Amino acid sequence: MIADFDREGLVDRRPLDRQPEAEPARPLRYPSKLLVTPDGRLCVADTGHHRIIELRLDEGVADDPFVAAELWGPDGIAVLGPSEGHRESARFSIADTNNHLIRVGDLESRTVRTLTLYGLERLQPRPTREPVARRLPPVTVAPGLITLTFDIELPPGYKLNDEVPLAFRVEQDGGIHRFPAGEPPMLRLDVESARELDLDLTLSYCQAADERLCKRLVLPIAVAENGPFSVEVPYSIPVGTP
């Protein structure tokens, strides 16, 4: 059919102009939520520009002091309680949507921090624990403060599910260490003598469909005066692991 139109001279062979038009500059881009604090300040979730804008209604825009903070597609914002030493409510929470985090901004200290949420794992189905833990190859470290970085290798053709956080819990001295999603788990601890760490690994990886892997791992640690202070611990998931 194309050849027929070409013979009739109806096909335009000139290259198309694919240069997109530049987007005009705008003070706001997809603003989504507004928040008015008790002391008269207005906060705007400027979602498309990945920022929160603070305006004092009697003074204009005051956007610069939070320049070090980084957000990605923030949406909802809500007033929290007053900060220490201030009667008025100076803190507000931010739904940092594309980072999958809740952030807290303080208008008095002009800082932004990430809110750590505990107990969310209780809302998820309890993973099936293996009756027998897998023992990893032992590592040798120097006495003192050491760093362990866990390098997780997936089977060929698989990748981590970006929408499901990786949970790597290290039970050490009765505590549980939580690691941010999307980052290699890194643990710092003081080691003076040989010991074992009990590890629980839960991650989701996918090919055609999502799969979840739950493993119990044991990492033996030996201590030597000439050992390194930083060790990378590899863990390779076998092909065909259910």
- The CATH number given to whatever domain includes residue 82 is 2.40.10
Number of domains comprising the chain: 2
3-class secondary structure, 201: strand
94 and 143 housed in the same domain:
no
227 and 144 housed in the same domain:
yes
Residue that is last in its domain, among 114, 144, 168: 114
In a domain, 99, yes or no: yes
Q: What is the pLDDT of residue 177?
A: 62
Separation of CA 234 from chain center: 22
208 and 157 housed in the same domain:
yes
Residue that is last in its domain, among 79, 114, 149: 114
Q: What is the pLDDT of residue 124?
A: 47
148 and 216 housed in the same domain:
yes
Q: What is the pLDDT of residue 178?
A: 62
Q: What is the pLDDT of residue 86?
A: 52
Query: Which residue ranges in the chain fall short of pLDDT 50?
Result: 63, 121-128, 208, 242
pTM: 0.40
Q: What is the pLDDT of residue 241?
A: 52
Q: What is the pLDDT of residue 125?
A: 45
143 and 96 housed in the same domain:
no
Question: For 93-111, what is each residue's pLDDT tens digit?
Answer: 888 887 778 888 887 888 8
DSSP 130-155: PSSPEEPPPEEE-SEEEEEEEEEEPP
**Residue 228: domain span:** 132-236
Q: What is the pLDDT of residue 157?
A: 72
140 and 225 housed in the same domain:
yes
In a domain, 177, yes or no: yes
